[in-house]
A and B are shown apart, each in its own frame.
Chain A
Amino acid sequence: MDIKICPEPFDPWQEIQAHQSSVADMAGKFGATSIFIGTMRDFNEGDNVQGMTLEHYPGMTEKQLEKIVAEAMRQWPVIDALVMHRVGDILPNEPIVLVAVWTSHRGDAFDASRYIMEALKSRAPFWKKELLKSQSERWLVKNTDGYL
């Protein structure tokens, strides 16, 4: 399990490749990798958005993400998981979140990655503040519904 809070932009594809290569005993064991990447849009609720600031609660964020991934690993036979999340100032088209899960079979990979992502959305202490093209700022009040 690897959890990273990232104050700088990251390339999720390079991170997935690097993680997979770095875990030596994973080679030959996994048959499925499920990947979710959340990317910043330049529109929301009918407005043009030019940037975003992501605040978090250092310490609690890591603690909650570790609990969430541990819960997923208890429910499904997960070989490994990588969770990364941006904080700070973010621009449209930059990745915000990465959840990658390696398992033996596809069903467990889909289920575990969806569980981690939905739990992250409701429990990990991050808050988004949008900067609109009109130069006004607004805090997001709630997340869109997932499909749990």
Chain B
Amino acid sequence: MEKTYYNPDDLKKFGDIGEFQKDYADKFFEWYGAVFSEGALTEKEKSLIALAVAHVVQCPYCIDAYTTECVKNGYSNSQMMEAVHVGAAIRGGATLAHSVQMMNKVKDISL
């Protein structure tokens, strides 16, 4: 067992997840490949969305992979940071939007 939960080398083993359940893994990778290929959005645009989402879900493997992909695709440092801010703003906004529920509840139970 590793001494840490995350090991950068494990990113290379992502393709091995089919070892324990091949059918699902094959379906996932086929779908994954289709999602990231050019459609109504370009592959480049999708890589920036993936970078922002990677931060929101706080996946170090995804951050590693999609930072490289975004640099490779020509995004500047400031563009990548702005994308992360967009993700952070949605996450922060989602938290704050739930405060309406708290406020409603406070009003419901208050004299």
Asked if A and B are interacting partners, one says no
- A-contacting residues of B (Cβ < 8 Å)? none
